[in-house]
Structure 1
């Protein structure tokens, strides 16, 4: 387990600020033991919460042809057939995973392939489970062409708290299955659009682990 690079600077400055705050209170109010203890406890708990948000567990890359792995830790909130009208412009199976502030927020590629299309969309910050969040929120759209020619669309979606999406790929970038391609700070959501003949392996409200939970099997 390591700390993700997106959180290192924030955690450093947060530690400095909290340490300075507690030192100042101790210096100016040395006799207020209850207050000092409460503030110290709250500071430690708050720092641990932020620290765990940026944890980055080791996940080995895979080469599991035909399987689609979860792009994120979280809970399955959508499984339905929809019209994907940005790239494919046809019907697809959508599987959406909601990430709470307590989940790991590293985003991982569900298959091995090449990024055929990538686009960033500025937008609103509706709650991530809102039906319109996938089309109106700040988001990225990435289409991966697998080694067998199958194409998947993966969409990072910012939520009410997540106002900074990070990505480390562009059109033409190679991706390894379960390898990291992005990060979303605080609560958010990731959508995966599958071919209609894909077999969905998860169910509503199921908990997923990014790069570890198989969410679908592609038709060979």
Structure 2
């Protein structure tokens, strides 16, 4: 089971692996199909904790809007005025068995209305709770991102300061390296000339030695 909580509404939805959800990509496709949220507009945050900890879903399209979307709740569909009128009318009835019966039926209706209202309020409380948890997960994610960024920034600053403090040393080192390279070229050039001259003299010496030391017949 995968739990997905929409931060914009606070609704928590349950998805089964039997729906073909194998990875984040397939989950994103299911969300796009069910909630009509494009994949490019989906932001999903994973918060550690219990097994039933949900994946928090943010609709980027709502974030980019100038005004927040209007969210209707089931409480908007409840009518208190009608029930209030029935109660006021029941209070005006004359004492009788029929009045007792009518008030009894009205009491049952008020009790049912109260249960439904309590259920809706509990649902709204749960939605706000999950919204709150989602915002905490979002803040924690931002804190981790900022902390990671600051560590990288500090590392870059330290390397930059180290380089700035040693830039003259690097320049001198590069200058010496160039001087050594030039000296190496000069030495190699002189060595080649010496090698060629020495080889030539050695060959001439060997030829003269053979010429004057060869026994005559």
Higher relative contact order (CA 8 A, sep 6+): 1
| TM-score after normalising by structure 2 | 0.23
| TM-score after normalising by structure 1 | 0.22
Which is strand-richer, 1 or 2?
1
